[in-house]
Amino acid sequence: MAGQMIDEKKIEEALAGTKNPSKRDIRRILKKARNKKGLSIKEAGALVNLKEPALIQELFNTAGWVKNEIYGERLVFFAPLYLSDYCVNDCAYCNFHARNKELKRKKLSLKEIEGQVKILINMGHKRVLVECGEDPLKNNIDYVVKAIKKIYSVKTDKGNIRRINVNIAATTKEDYSKLRKANVGTYQLFQETYHRPTYEKLHSGPKADYIRQINAPSRALEAGLDDIGLGVLFGLYDWRFEVLSVIAHAQYLDKTYKVGPHTISVPRLQPAPSVDLKSKYLVSDEDFLKLIAVLRIAVPYTGMIISTRETPEMRKKAFRIGISQASAASCPTTGGYGKSDSQPQFNIQDERQLGEVIKGVVEDGFLPSFCTACYRRGRTGEAFMGLSKPGEIHKFCRANGILTFAEYIEDFVHNGARRRYGDLINFYLDKIEDKELQRQTQERLRKIAKGKRDLYF
């Protein structure tokens, strides 16, 4: 089954056969990208092989255009929440690896989870990404499900968490079905590397099973989870191969299940305590931006996620050319919000508070959003694809982005920035083309100003 989605030979050939793409070919591919229907593996191959700066700039312009057409100006924010760093695997890049005896392992109790969630809510977050190591005894699915219920139940005077996405190890259909019943949003799982020999070299423990990992998104969809997220840990193998592989994986899911990936994440390898992996495949900043742009136009309907593994400067550039979701004010440490003596899974490069991140994106003209409307309105799986593929999702995103940002301003912004942020809201309100939707958004904004919360389309 795995061979069906990733044909290594075909990918190698696509890379070798497009080594020196002509200007004409590139322009033809970029023109096709503006149809927003994606690209073939070979076309994506020509783009990853691009070297000429002027053409790379054209690639960025096209990617920025496609992003704007499909997702508009809004950027959705979330925070990771680490439940437990117990792990039976030995991944060569991760500080939670089983051999690490220095790490004082921690698994959060429900009470501790409540404490962490309160902190996140009081920072302004509405969306969390639950993460934990793989440990069938300590972190089994029943624990994760209980944790999810707890997270949804926590409320403070600043609100509650409205969407929980999950990034836990590959598991069985039965477990996925339990996750579905727990009402999770997207189930994310990174393939780490699609290159099988490299995958097998860098992992040991149950995760070393390449087939278990690569078929996990299929199992999750078959178990009824609507939205799944793919990802590659860039830096473990040749990024060009990884980009074509993740595109092939997305195309396979789309063809087989009529649902492509809801998101694609682009984590890049970071230093981590106790890790001394010397990789010859580290991805330069320039190539990293290029790969984001290629993924954006090759899988135009997918949300793209960047984390705080990247510096504020890199994130700023990435937002322009394809990223639609970002973590902010993250702590990749179990129980790390507030304070903690636990060690992180890896080092992060953007340590700013949420307020500072918001300030930066507003200055760049983006609309910060904490929207969780789609999955609560049933716009998931095929229904979501039906809206995101033709670029229709955009109109909901704008209105919902405006409403959730207005809530954020009411609850968390008490300085001079309120006026500037209000101007941004008015600017985008004006841009809502559907006059009825615009009127209803205005009406809801008035309700938010009077204290009403959680209004969405």
* Chain residues that interact with ligand SAM, rule: CB under 6 A: 93-94, 131, 133-134, 167-169, 189-190, 192, 233, 267, 269-270, 272, 275, 309, 345-346
Tell me how far apart the terminal alpha carbons of the chain are, to the nearest angstrom.
39
**Min separation Cβ 97 and ligand SF4, Å:** 4
* Residue that has been written with the tokens 């990174």 in this structure: 190
Asked whether position 207 contacts ligand SF4 by CB under 6 A, the answer is yes
Q: Of these, 46, 48, 59, 91, which contacts ligand SF4 (CB under 6 A)?
A: 91
Of 6 and 169, CB closest to ligand SF4: 169
Choose the one of ligand SAM, ligand SF4, none that binds residue 350, judging by a C-beta under 5 to 8 angstroms depending on kind.
none
Question: For residue 208, what is the DSSP state?
Answer: G
CA distances from 30 to 275, 293, 304, 357, 454 (A): 40, 11, 19, 32, 40
Where does this chain touch ligand SF4 (CB under 6 A) — which range of 86-94, 394-402, 412-420, 445-453?
86-94
Q: Of these, 94, 357, 358, 367, which contacts ligand SF4 (CB under 6 A)?
A: 94
Contact 159, 411 (CB under 8 A): yes
Where does this chain touch ligand SF4 (CB under 6 A) — which range of 83-91, 158-166, 277-285, 386-394?
83-91
**Min separation Cβ 192 and ligand SAM, Å:** 5
* Residue that has been written with the tokens 């473990």 in this structure: 236
Q: How far apart are CA 212 and CA 172, in angstroms?
A: 9
Choose the one of ligand SAM, ligand SF4, none that binds residue 97, judging by a C-beta under 5 to 8 angstroms depending on kind.
ligand SF4
Q: Which of residues 346-375 bind ligand SF4 (CB under 6 A)?
A: none
Amino acid at position 453, single letter:
R
Q: How far apart are CA 18 and CA 432, in angstroms?
A: 42
Closest among 274, 189, 196 to 236, alpha carbons compared: 196
**Min separation Cβ 43 and ligand SF4, Å:** 32
Q: Does residue 396 sit in helix, strand or coil? A: helix
Asked whether position 213 contacts ligand SF4 by CB under 6 A, the answer is no
Choose the one of ligand SF4, ligand SAM, none that binds residue 309, judging by a C-beta under 5 to 8 angstroms depending on kind.
ligand SAM
Q: Does residue 354 sit in helix, strand or coil? A: helix
Q: Which of residues 97-136 bind ligand SF4 (CB under 6 A)?
A: 97, 133-134
Contact 145, 178 (CB under 8 A): yes
Sign, Cα dihedral of 192, 357, 274, 268: positive
**Min separation Cβ 245 and ligand SF4, Å:** 19
Of 167 and 263, CB closest to ligand SAM: 167
Choose the one of ligand SF4, ligand SAM, none that binds residue 319, judging by a C-beta under 5 to 8 angstroms depending on kind.
none
Of 216 and 298, CB closest to ligand SAM: 216
Sign, Cα dihedral of 199, 205, 210, 213: negative
Amino acid at position 291, single letter:
L
* Residue that has been written with the tokens 């019943």 in this structure: 181
The residues of the shown chain that bind ligand SF4, judged by CB under 6 A, are 87, 89, 91, 94, 96-97, 133-134, 169, 207
